[in-house]
Amino acid sequence: MTSAPRGDGNGRAGGWDQDSALARAVLSQQSIAVMELDMDLRPVRTNGAYAAMRPGGAGDDWLLEVTGTGAHGTVRAFMARVAETGTPVVAAEYPLGPEGSDRMVSLTCIRVTDPLGAPVGIAIAAVEVTERHRAQRRLSAAYREAFEIGGSLDVVHSARDLAAVLVPALGDLAFVDFPDDVLQGRDPTPGYHGAEAFAARRVATKSADGEWPAGLVRVGELVPTPPEPLMPAETTAGGALVIDEELGRRIVGDDPHLLRRLMPEGMRHALGCPLHHRGRFFGYAQVYRVDNPDPFGEADVKLMQDLCFRAALAIDNAFRFTREHRTAVVLQQSLLPPAATETAAAETAGAYLPAGGSVSVGGDWFDAFPVSSLRMALVVGDVIGHGLQATATMARLRTAVQTLADLDLPPDELLTRLDDLVQRMVAESKEPDTVGASCLFAVYDPVTGVCQMASAGHPPPVVVRPDGSAEYAAVVPGPTLGVGDNPFEVFSTTLPVGSVLALYTDGLVRRAGGGDDAPGGAEDPLPAELAKLVADGRSLDGIAAELTARRAAPEQPADDVTVLLARTRAVDGRDTATWEYAADPAAVHDARTDVVRQLEVWGLQEQSFATELIVSELVTNAIRHAGGPVVLRLIRDRVLVCEVADPSNTQPRLRRALSTDEGGRGLFLIAQLSTRWGCRYGARGKTIWTEQALDPARVSGCRGWWSCGSRRGPAGPSRWSGVRWSSRCAAGPSPCRR
């Protein structure tokens, strides 16, 4: 201790008398534990607070034996250093008590000198800081847990995360309320317009003991509006509101029912804060202290504001994700074809399930559309990535597939052209690694029963035959679209009538852990699963719905799930007629005669004139420009198909003939007489085809499924008329046979 003058010139005591008075005051107080030690660190004297702080079973020198090492080393070491050097140690914190105890003590140590300045010992003051350390740990834990808020991109889940952090970090009870706009997925309007505009519903609660008080508003209930605003002006920009019992009763008013609904019994203090971000009000959170009598401090208010800000940020991110996800889903679903179609070739059904969780919608697509000669094209694809970019890429590829399919390209050539398109898209993209896709393209012919398919890095389809057997088609997948420099291989198989062909994306076979069940592997359940669903007699719609529903349980899939199912049909042999002619101009007359005779057999005499002209032009051109043999085929369905095949690969071209030209009007005449026409190439030569619409009411007989456009439905036979089914069959009341 430093020495002072013995007197101040006014006759008052000073010097040692003042020092003694200060020493007595320090040693007699009971708030700070004080101990004096000599230079050998032996205790000289202590005060009552020191004895009260002593752990059970410890001696007078217990402070020297405190375990642990702080910033200044052990307690004994830094005391010896203070005694030797005189350099004080201020607020050194050490654990207090036995191992495992959370008690903490703050130590301040100074050297004591005599009136001549010689060191005689040290003095140490100890203050227990256990509560402060507990509060710091609680706040640190709360900040760590705050990183979990908003991890699901779901606004209600974010509210539950916030309530889970508030209790027990700040209090015993906590709740979160949302306005209707937030709950209904609408972006709230900017600003906050007072409690009268805050029609809220409780979305999350948390109680320290697990039981929410019976009288308080529960999850899902509307929050009654108090007579005074819950949030004054200072809270509208994210400020917190500290409420004691008196202020709470004043806000709620004199209504005992409202008091019971809004204030827990025994409430001591409450702390509320709005969820406010980027000028938008997303909700309100509040925490109560019932068992803890301590008021909320500045650190508590800061923590509340930080937690609510993070929750509001998470909700805002969820809204932006939801907007993009909804836009992508609407765009993609608007681009997908009708889920179910029916043609002479097949009955189809499709299903699409977007990815859930934090994954945006992907670029999966499926398509089923007719191509020439009653054939059916089946397509399924999966674009790399997710979001609007993947959806836009999907739209471009789907349009390209339909355009290329109209050219009657074989599956391998179609994928080659599509690969060229994707390579151009990669070259144009600013992020080329995010552009690419897999695709499977198949064409089924109901006349021959042959299905041809090719794959660009896509999983093989499953074939379920009428006998109940199920297997993967042995298609050899080529590289994904955009790789280039690799040819695709065509796989052909004959499908019996009634076979089910299942095309899908990899989301259908992706396991919950993120891996894929490799097609054909020992753990692959898809073929057996499909075989059982088909054997149960379910409709294709029901099978597709069941497959997607199983992938959605117990939680949304991590990737889009797309399924396209097709049940094959066949054109009755009596609805086709085929002739072969030599390269002789006289064969044109024979062809006209054969066609007219066949149309009379089918009862289609009204089509004779147009069909005779079409056949005459096509056969004449084939004999004149391609040589022989020439094959003529007629197919009767909803339309009358006329095909002329020749060995030439010359491309027919429609042109406008001048008034002085003697020829060149043949294809123009064919285009006027038919509803559609085109040309496709085979392994040898080409086939020119035309379609003429038929009136179902004029088609006689009901020998096959499409022979009069009839089908047998749940309510009896019906007839195809345009794009609708009428209730009366053209063949009369007798059932139609498939």
- Which residues share a beta bridge with 689? 643, 678
Paired tokens of 5 = 């003058």
Residue 75 CB-half CA count within 13 A: 22
Paired tokens of 57 = 């079973």
* Rounded (10°) angle between helices 130-146 and 298-335: 10
Q: Read off φ and ψ for residue 634, nearest 5 degrees.
A: -115, 140
E strand residue ranges, 529-575: 561-568
Alpha-carbon gap, residue 478 to 483, rounded angstroms: 10
- Higher pLDDT: 608 or 240? It is 608
Give me Rg for the CA atoms of the chain: 43
pLDDT at 422 over 50: yes
Per-residue confidence band for 141, with pLDDT thresholds at 50, 70 and 90: low
pLDDT tens-digit map of 275-334: 888 888 888 999 999 988 888 888 888 888 888 888 888 888 877 777 766 766 676 666
Work out the average pLDDT over 468-491: 90
Q: What's the pLDDT score for residue 689?
A: 93
Residue 360: strand, helix, or coil? coil
In angstroms, how far is the first alpha carbon of the chain from the final one? 114
Q: Residue by residue, what is the 3-state secondary structure of 130-145?
A: HHHHHHHHHHHHHHHH
Q: What's the pLDDT score for residue 380?
A: 94
Extract long-range pairs of 291-294: CB within 8 Å, 24+ residues apart. Answer: 291/172, 291/208, 292/171, 292/172, 292/268, 293/268, 294/269
* CA distances for 124 relative to 30, 93, 132, 204, 256, angstroms: 15, 13, 21, 50, 56
- Higher pLDDT: 474 or 734? It is 474
Alpha-carbon gap, residue 531 to 534, rounded angstroms: 5
pLDDT at 452 over 80: yes
Residue from 278, 284, 294, 261 nearest 203 by CA: 284
Beta carbons of 704 and 572 less than 8 angstroms apart: yes
Paired tokens of 543 = 């099978």
pLDDT at 196 over 50: no
The continuous run of DSSP H or E covering 644 comes out as strand 639-646
The continuous run of DSSP H or E covering 479 comes out as none
pLDDT at 738 over 70: no
* CA distances for 95 relative to 67, 105, 141, 150, 638, angstroms: 7, 6, 20, 36, 91
Q: Of the segments 249-263, 317-331, 497-511, 582-596, which one has the largest average pLDDT value? A: 582-596
Beta carbons of 182 and 315 less than 8 angstroms apart: yes
Residue 287: strand, helix, or coil? strand
Alpha-carbon gap, residue 66 to 12, rounded angstroms: 44
Domains and CATH numbers, the chain: 28-128 (3.30.450.20), 135-324 (3.30.450.40), 336-568 (3.60.40.10), 573-694 (3.30.565.10)
Range of weakest confidence among 335-344, 509-518, 674-683: 509-518
Question: Within the chain, what is the greatest distance between any pair of CA atoms?
Answer: 152
Paired tokens of 13 = 């005591």
Work out the average pLDDT over 151-167: 85
| In the chain, % of residues over pLDDT 90 | 31
pLDDT tens-digit map of 200-239: 899 999 999 889 998 899 999 999 877 665 555 444 445 7
pLDDT tens-digit map of 61-77: 777 777 666 667 788 88
Q: What's the pLDDT score for residue 449?
A: 95
Per-residue confidence band for 247, with pLDDT thresholds at 50, 70 and 90: confident
Place of tokens 């789907």: 398
* Rounded (10°) angle between helices 298-335 and 155-169: 160
